[in-house]
Structure 1
Amino acid sequence: MNKVTPLLAAFLAAGAFATASDCVAAKKTKPLPVYKTSFDCASPRSTVENLICHDGQLAQMDLELNRLYLLALTDDHSVPKPAKVEIDQQFWIDARNQCGGGPQARGCVIGSYAERADQLRQGSAIARTKDPSRLSEGPVAFRCAGMSTPVSATYFTVQPGVVFLKWAKSSATLMQVPSDSGHLYTGKDYRGSYRFWQDGNDATLQVPASGQMVCTAEPVS
């Protein structure tokens, strides 16, 4: 019967360690996927652009936002006018890029896209056209018991979904989470936690320092 000598055992252990190390190294050096965006991912101009290039959800939001922007530029009746839309877009890009690359960057970028999509869709009827390829909807106005003003909801139908809610002088960006029925979105900021559940024209909304409110979508004119 062959015996494993101490020297052979050392060689075997070293080989096993090297193999494991090689696997770890291979995993570490595996390139991140690159997604299609409205800008050139071969030469991203900021940390935020680099983040978007390697994140499927953010890349989808970027392409949809660019689609809305180009449509708004063709709308002579947009509010503001196309020339101002173009100026605002550059200011928006500069502000989006301020999200940086820290642990909060991704949430910051999602919020930035959600708010800008709401502005473009709110201001341009052409941007709200029912393009089959669209990845955004709204804004939809909800009347909620206990609120004197409507709650506006603009959606990104990406994976996972995103909703931008705006009421009075407040707003919140929420992410879709699994739900047994309807569509459920949750989120949190410095004020506290939010919960928005919708099933057709019926919805419930919970904001910080408030109980759950029953909401109904207003008819679209």
Structure 2
Amino acid sequence: MKTLTPLLASLLAAGACAATSLCAGAATSSREFKTSFDCASTRASIEKLICRDPQLAQMDIELQRLYLLVLTDDHAVPPRNKVEIDQQFWLDARNQCATDREPKACTIRSYAERAYQLRQGSAIARTKDPSRLTEGPVAFRCAGLNALVAATFFTVNPAVVYLKWANTSVTLNQQPSTIGTRYGGKDFRGSYSFWYEGDDALLQMPGSAEMSCKAEPVG
């Protein structure tokens, strides 16, 4: 897992307007955005949603970039042939978001989790490409929590963070913050918040107080 880089802070700061009225123009529109697939010929309803949504379109392009990088990695875990199989299963699962009560939120979670998997399993996928829209996983050790928290950042607009620890994961969206960077969201368990600045972070889970966290150094 990687620790925070100076560029990560600047990339996330660039997406901070997503939580303000200045980003009203970034809402879903009727125009089509560039994606990894042909929007003109697709019949999948989720792909049609991705084509019309700038945030999802950015996530799709970045996910495809990561996937192609992993396919060049002889040391990827799992190996490349398994990655190809897993990618097809992932695409099928992503398309099932069409039946979810909140299709866009489901699709965001799907992309965020897959980005974590690809970056976690391949050093090549974690290379510092200037065009990248993902960072991490960054390992945080939180007081009172036995497991490390892996944070993978999607620096799209609005920005997203995928947090994973033990057998639990959650995807959070960037929220307004005058200091540091804050994300929030909820699942069936309740509400979560994650704030960080530099190597310091605060994590709050449903029904618990904020936990102080520290980024682990690169090993």
TM-score bin (small chain) = 0.7 to 0.9
Residue of structure 2 equivalent to 1:131:
129
Runs of 4+ with >2 A deviation: none
**Shift in Å at residue 44 of structure 1?**
1.6
Residue of structure 2 equivalent to 1:27:
none
| Kept after mapping to 2: 8 A contact 1:72/1:127 | yes
Q: Is 1:32 the counterpart of 2:35 in the alignment?
A: no
Residue of structure 2 equivalent to 1:62:
60
| Kept after mapping to 1: 8 A contact 2:100/2:106 | no
The one-letter code sitting in structure 2 at the alignment partner of 1:113 is Y
Cα distance per residue 1:57-81 (max 9 Å; x no partner): 0000000000000000000100000
Which runs of no fewer than 5 residues in structure 1 stay unpaired? 1-30
In 1, Cα distance between equivalents of 2:126 and 2:35: 21
Residue of structure 1 equivalent to 2:19:
none
In 1, Cα distance between equivalents of 2:52 and 2:100: 15
**Shift in Å at residue 181 of structure 1?**
1.0
Q: Is 1:175 the counterpart of 2:173 in the alignment?
A: yes
Residue of structure 2 equivalent to 1:44:
42
Structure 1 residues 10-25: aligned runs within 5 Å: none
Larger relative contact order (C-alpha < 8 A, sep ≥ 6)?
Answer: 2
In 2, Cα distance between equivalents of 1:210 and 1:150: 17
The one-letter code sitting in structure 1 at the alignment partner of 2:118 is L
| Kept after mapping to 1: 8 A contact 2:183/2:193 | yes
Give secondary structure in 2 for the equivalent of 1:139.
Answer: strand
Q: Is 1:192 the counterpart of 2:190 in the alignment?
A: yes
Which runs of no fewer than 5 residues in structure 2 stay unpaired? 1-28
Residue of structure 2 equivalent to 1:100:
98
Residue of structure 2 equivalent to 1:87:
85
| Kept after mapping to 2: 8 A contact 1:47/1:101 | no
**Shift in Å at residue 39 of structure 1?**
0.2
In 2, Cα distance between equivalents of 1:205 and 1:33: 37
**Shift in Å at residue 102 of structure 1?**
5.6
- Rg larger in structure: 1
Q: Is 1:147 the counterpart of 2:145 in the alignment?
A: yes
Identity %: 66
**Shift in Å at residue 208 of structure 1?**
1.0
**Shift in Å at residue 220 of structure 1?**
1.4
Residue of structure 1 equivalent to 2:160:
162
In 1, Cα distance between equivalents of 2:99 and 2:150: 30
| Kept after mapping to 2: 8 A contact 1:142/1:216 | yes
In 2, Cα distance between equivalents of 1:37 and 1:101: 22
The one-letter code sitting in structure 2 at the alignment partner of 1:159 is N
Residue of structure 2 equivalent to 1:109:
107
Residue of structure 2 equivalent to 1:119:
117
Number of residue-to-residue matches in the alignment: 191
**Shift in Å at residue 103 of structure 1?**
4.6
Give secondary structure in 2 for the equivalent of 1:165.
Answer: strand
TM-score, with structure 1 as normaliser = 0.85
Cα distance per residue 1:167-188 (max 9 Å; x no partner): 0110000000111011100001
In 2, Cα distance between equivalents of 1:173 and 1:130: 23
**Shift in Å at residue 209 of structure 1?**
2.0
